[in-house]
Structures are given as structure tokens and as C-alpha cells.
Amino acid sequence: MDPLLALATVLPLLMAASISALNIVLRGQRRVLDAAAIVTGAAVAAILAVITVRTTGGDEVYWFAGFRPSHGIAIGIDFAVGPLSAGLACLAAVLVAAAMIFSWRYFERVATYYHVLMLTFLAGMVGFCLTGDIFDLFVWFELMGVSAYALTAYRPEERGSLQGALNFAITNSVGAYLSLAGIGIIYGRTGALNMAQIGRHIARSGPDRLVVVAFVLIITGFLIKGAIVPFHFWLADAHAVAPTPVCVLLSGVMVELGLYGIARVYWSMFGYSLGHRAVITGTFLTLGLLTAVVGALFCFRERHLKRLLAFSTISHAGMFLSGIALLTPLGLAGPAISVAGHALVKAALFLCVGIVLHRLGSVNETWLHGRGRRLRVTGVVFTLAALGLADLPPFATFRGKGLIEATGSSHGMALISAVFIVCSVLVGAAVLRVAGGVFYGLGDPPSEDPQMAAEASEETSETDEAKQRTPLTMIVPAAVLALGGLAAGLLPGLGSAVQAAAMRFQDQAAYNATVLSGAHVAHPSAVFPPEPTGITATDLATGLGSVAVALLLAFLALYWQRLPLLRRGFEPGTGLVQPIRRFQSGVVNDYVTWIVIGVACVGGALAFTIR
Amino acid sequence: MQFFPFAVMAWILAVGLYGIVTSRHLVHQIVCLIVVQSSTYVLLLGVGYRRGAAAPYFYDIPVHTPAVDPVVQALALTDVVVEAAVTALLLAFAIQAQKRFGTLDPQELVQFKG
């Protein structure tokens, strides 16, 4: 019973409410608002870091207003926190603090509601990670959703902003309501809203078709938030138009929270009783690998820098889901490490793109070619983060991906490694091509795609005019985050610590005992049988090899026009992606159609095999 | 639990989704989203309903009187609050679209595709 857990959500909410209430006094006092938001973000990050370290000894539960469960029946609402959930929430808070520092000089003028929305967004993300109540999960989900929709449309002057925000809001709301329908069904079936109690009830009475339907409906909302094919279309539209500091949060942590939601719901309520692990692994692995490939292909052909990074997020989300789908502790530890590494380098990349936009007034790779040479420090930071995104050893992204691949291989699924390498190479090549072309002027400007040019010409700068200097408040957060991604991969003992946490995360009986009986269940200190968490020479060689191939591919792309021999037969417009490009139509009606088709397919696959 | 409320819920959900998919007008589309959400109210209240039970106010009735489930009513109420926030925000976007671009057709707002 430690109020510190509650404080992590109460603090940002209280600050947001105070800022709104004092709007009249604080108007024009921009620095006060900026400082308040930065301090709040940093304080929440510190609180959650303490909780993360503390919960490595055993999960903690906080019952609001002291309504503890009696005889195994939960009366109140709880936060049930383990190291994985607290760590993810901490990551969100770190990114909010970094984004607010970046905003210090980024916007010429900024409205009060920007700070308020960032803080409610933070509260929503933290609450979503910590809660142990299924209905509260929905409420926090909607809180972070609504804040994110509003932040995406922060500059409604552009057609694309409204398109992106509307597509984002409508698809994600449909998903949230389907989740709520699932929650209603599960409540009708079990009479409980506490996840531990629901899990215990289903385990006793056995799962039936209705429970499967509820499971599919609940995770639909999270699959949409997690940008899994075919639910992913909204993401690129929203990320292309959101202000850069908001993109950091959307891409760095919000998408991953959707996947966390799937893991939380599965392992606290359904995992034990649903059975049919092969079917569940098969379904989600298919979705994950498909997402990874689609995201990587779209990423490689994109010239709009923010959209390029958005598609790489889709590709990575697919990799994370593939790891979760393996349903083993090592399989979950992989995405956990990868998410942290990815969030740090992706945030750094977005901040660098923000600096480019601030200094040069464009995010069009074709136009920017060679124009970024003046931005030396930004170029170095971007290249470093790009190498991290390409899974260069020893970045955390590399270590996490290695764990997923190792688990896949040990389960006879070598296909995973093959797909992952292809995706890493494509995504890495895309960002390294940008680094080489924009910041070092290598190769030729890519040929102008008329549609891209039309999109980019409407892009107006988020700051009023091109600036002569890069403020320290913009470059320092980017550099720190990129180096953080590198440092996280160098932490000794990280693999086994996260694996122990993942093992505990998947232990439904221990979760039940902790929440409903108040028992203290110590985390497994050693994993039996010990699975390899270290880095072998083969892993290292594969990692370095894939980065080398990515570099080669990036150079090929940059010098493409000087290679007539290779170009023959690969004229623009005949690429692999061309046939599926039209699915990304930009119209929300089509996206919702895809959601319905996707739910029918996933639901069908599970409902007819699990009975 | 009876079958009928859930059939109604499924019907409302299907109608709402059909509306969102086929709509060419933002305000219409947003109202269809409200229809989708309304299906969850029917579901929640249907789950908690008991035939012949009283409303869950134990003010002037004996404590052991059968009552309908108050929890789902609290959930539905929270759901209404969420809906109010989402709808207000979406309608604000629609107003911006009409003001700045003179259109409420989602297809004409498209800047990014492919």
C-alpha cells in the first residue's frame, strides 16, 4: 500500500487541472508552463524509476481508498504493478519530459492547452500501464486517445492535419468501443471487472465461445492502437501531421502501449484457461510478421521523413507482436528490451527531423538532399540513431531483436529470423539513406515522385521561419536519447533481469495471489532451464552483417541514377509496393472496412479453433 | 441474461459500422460513431438487467429487495462521459474542415495517401 503508485498518475492530472484553472493568470507566462510540464514529466519518470527498481523484488498492489478485496472478491479498484509495466510507464514519462524540453524553443507561440494535453496524455499512458481493472484500462485508453487526437490536430491549418487527426480518432474510437463491448461481455460472464478476479473465474468455470469472442473484441482496440496490419492505416496519416514533440510520444510509446495491452489482458485473464497456444501463436505471429514486412516495404519507398519514420514504427510493432506471440518469457523479454531501445532511438530521430524542419523548413527528402550539411551535430545524432534503428550491436534494439530470434529458432521457427533480418535491412537502409543524402549530400537527389511533391509542398513549417541556429534545448534531448538507446544495450545483466520480470508477468497464478490475497510472491531469481540471454559471436556477426547490408542498400539507393545496369527492369512505378499502395487510401471509410475485415478474420481464426 | 438485448446490440453495432464505412459527410460519420458507441450502452444495461427487480436506490425500499446491477449503470455513465469528449472533439475537427477547406467530405480532405 504505497501511495507512490497513485502519485504517478495523480501528479500529471493535478498539474493539468491547475494549469487549466490558472489559465487566465498564466496566459503569456509561457516559460512557467513549459517548466511546470518538464518538471512534472521528470518527477513522474523519477517516481516510476523508483517503482521499477523496487518491484524487481515482487509485484506491488495499491487499492484506491483502501478498498481491499474480501474473500477473493475485489471491491475496489487497484493498480497492480510489476517491473515491466512500471518500466514502460517510466519510458513514457521520460519521452514526455524530453518532448517538453524540445518544445521550449520549438514553437514560436504555444497555447496553454498544449501543456494540458501533454500532461493528460502522460497520465493516460501511465494509468494504462499500471491499472489492474479492465474497465479502468478502457478509461485510461480513452484518456490517452482523446489527448492524442487533439494533439495531432494541434495545427489545423493544414488539410493533412485534419485528415490525420480524423482518421486517427475515428479508427481508434471504433476500436475502443469494440474493446468496451468485449469488457461488457466479460463482465456479464464473470461478474467482475478486476483482471485477476476475471482470470480466476474463467479458470474455474472454463472458457467457452463467449469468452473467446470477448477476448477478440478486447484486443481489437489494442491491435488498432498497436498499428498491426490490417489495422495500421491510421498511423502514417497521424504521424505525418502531428507536431514533432507529439510524434515522439505517438511513435515512441503509444503504439507499444497497444501491444502491452494485449500482453496484459492475455496473461492476466485468458492465458491460463484459453489453451490452444499453437493457434494463438500462429495467429499473432502471422499478423506480426505481415506487419513487419508491410511496414518495412512502405518505409523504404517513402520520401516524407515523418511518414518514413512512421512506417518504420509499424514494422517494429510487427516485430514486437511476433515476440509476444511466442508466449514464452524469453519471447516477451525480447520486445520489452526492444521497445525501450526503439523508443529512445525513434524519439531521437523524430527530434532530429524536428530540428531539420525548424532550420530548413521542410521534411521532403528530395528537396532536402544535401541541404542538411550545415547541421553537423544533428547529422551525427541522426546517423547514430539511424544505426540504432538498423539494430546495430550493441544498441538495445539489437539485443531485444536477438532474444526474439533466439526464441523463434529454439521453437523451430527460423522463418522469424529471416523476416526480421529483411525488415531490419530495409528500415535501416531507409534511415541511413536519409542520413547520407540529407546530412552528407551523398549520391543524387532521389527522383521526384509527383504525388510526394504535392504532399510535401503543402507542408508548412511548424515554426514560423527557417532559423539560423539549432537551440541547445533541441539537440541535447535528441543526443541524450540516442546515447540512451546505446547505453541501455550495454547494461550488464539486462537480459536475465527482464527475462525474470517477463516470467513473472506471464505467471497468472502469482498475479492472482498478489492482487486478490495480498500475498507477496517473490520474482524468480534464476530461470530454469536457463535460456541464453547473452550475445554470441554468431549474433554479433549477423547483426553487423545486416547493418552492412543496410548500408550497402542505402548507398545503392543514393547512387541509383548512376547505375544504369542495375536500374534496367526496376523503373519507378514497378516496385513491390505499387500494388498495395492503393490500400493506403487516406480515407477513413476504407480503414474502418479493413478493421471489420480484420476482426472477422482474427475472430474467425480463434473462435473456430478454440472451443 | 436474455438473448434479445444482445441481438439489438449487434444490430446497432452493425448499422453504425455500415454508416461509418459508407458515409460521405463528416457530421454524418461522427453521428454513426455515436451509434456504434450506443450499442455498448445497450450491451452494458442488458448485462445488468434483472426481470422484476427494482432500481438500485436503497432509500425507501428494504435492503434485501432484488435490484438491477448498479455497476453496469456506472459503467454506462462513464461511457457517456467518454462519448461526450470524443464527439465534441471530432465535431470541432469537422468545423475546422468546413471553415478552412469548405468541405465535409472525408475523401476531399485527403492529402496523404499511398
Contact B114 A165 (CB under 8 A): no
Contact B21 A593 (CB under 8 A): yes
Length of chain B in residues, anyone? 114
Contacts of B43 in chain A (CB under 8 A): 181, 184-185
Residues paired with A70 in a beta bridge: A73
Q: Does A507 have pLDDT greater than 80?
A: yes
Return the residue in A116, A582, A588 with the most chain B beta carbons within 10 A, the one to mutate for interface testing.
A588
Structural domains in chain B (count) = 1
Please tell me the predicted confidence (pLDDT) of residue A573. Answer: 46
B64 or B77, which is more confident: B77
In a domain, B93, yes or no: yes
Helix (H, G, I), strand (E, B) or coil at A15: helix
Q: Does A302 have pLDDT greater than 90?
A: no
Chain B residue with Cα closest to A579: B114
Helix (H) or strand (E) holding B9: helix B4-22
Contact predicate A425/A546, CB 8 Å: yes
pLDDT tens profile A263-300: 999 999 988 888 788 889 999 999 999 999 999 999 98
Q: Which of these, A220, A213, A227, A332, lies nearest to A290 by C-alpha position?
A: A227
Question: How many other C-beta atoms can be found within 10 angstroms of the C-beta atom of residue A418?
Answer: 13
Contact A142 B86 (CB under 8 A): yes
Contacts of B76 in chain A (CB under 8 A): none
Chain B residue with Cα closest to A582: B114
Separation CA A455–CA A449 (nearest Å): 10
Residues paired with B67 in a beta bridge: B54
Separation CA A411–CA A99 (nearest Å): 40
In eight-state DSSP terms, residue A472 is H
In eight-state DSSP terms, residue A562 is G
Please tell me the predicted confidence (pLDDT) of residue A361. Answer: 85
The whole-number average pLDDT for the span B57-82 is: 88
Residue A470 pLDDT class (50, 70, 90 cuts): confident
CATH code of the domain covering residue B40: 1.10.287.3510
Contacts of A187 in chain B (CB under 8 A): 44, 47, 71-72, 75
| Residue A104 CB partners (closer than 8 Å, separation 6+) | A34, A38, A471, A473
Q: Does A531 have pLDDT greater than 70?
A: no
Q: Does A528 have pLDDT greater than 80?
A: no
Find the range with the poorest average confidence among A19-28, A328-337, A517-526, B93-102: A517-526
Distances (CA, A) of A112 to A22, A158, A307, A464: 10, 21, 28, 19
CB nearest to A159's CB, from B21, B90, B109? B109
Separation CA A84–CA A89 (nearest Å): 9
In a domain, B37, yes or no: yes
Please tell me the predicted confidence (pLDDT) of residue A369. Answer: 87
Please tell me the predicted confidence (pLDDT) of residue A458. Answer: 46
Q: Would strands A60-63 and A78-81 be described as parallel, antiparallel, or unpaired?
A: antiparallel
| ipTM of predicted assembly, 2 dp | 0.95
Separation CA A93–CA A343 (nearest Å): 12
Please tell me the predicted confidence (pLDDT) of residue A452. Answer: 56
pLDDT tens profile A157-200: 777 888 899 999 999 999 999 999 999 999 999 989 999 999 99
The whole-number average pLDDT for the span A117-141 is: 95
| Residue B107 CB partners (closer than 8 Å, separation 6+) | A587, A589, B24
What are the structural domain ranges in chain A?
4-268+275-451+474-520+547-607
On the CB side of A546, CA atoms within 13 Å amount to 27
Residue A419 pLDDT class (50, 70, 90 cuts): very high
Instruction: Report residue A522: phi and psi, to 5°.
Output: -70, 150
Q: Say which residue the cell 464527439 belongs to.
A: B87
B100 and chain A: CB distance < 8 Å anywhere? yes
CB nearest to B109's CB, from A162, A193, A585? A162
How wide is the angle at C-alpha A397 spanned by C-alphas A393 and A401, nearest 5°? 95
Find the range with the poorest average confidence among A127-131, A135-139, A403-407: A403-407
Please tell me the predicted confidence (pLDDT) of residue A526. Answer: 54
Contact A142 B82 (CB under 8 A): yes
Separation CA A557–CA A231 (nearest Å): 30
Q: Does A569 have pLDDT greater than 80?
A: no
In a domain, B81, yes or no: yes
Chain B contacts in chain A segment 570-589 (CB below 8 A): 581-582, 584-589
Q: Does A49 have pLDDT greater than 50?
A: yes
pLDDT tens profile A252-264: 999 999 999 999 9
Contact A174 B112 (CB under 8 A): no
B2 and chain A: CB distance < 8 Å anywhere? no
Residues paired with A63 in a beta bridge: A78
Separation CA A38–CA A102 (nearest Å): 10
| Residue A39 CB partners (closer than 8 Å, separation 6+) | none
**Which residues constitute the domain of residue B23?**
4-109
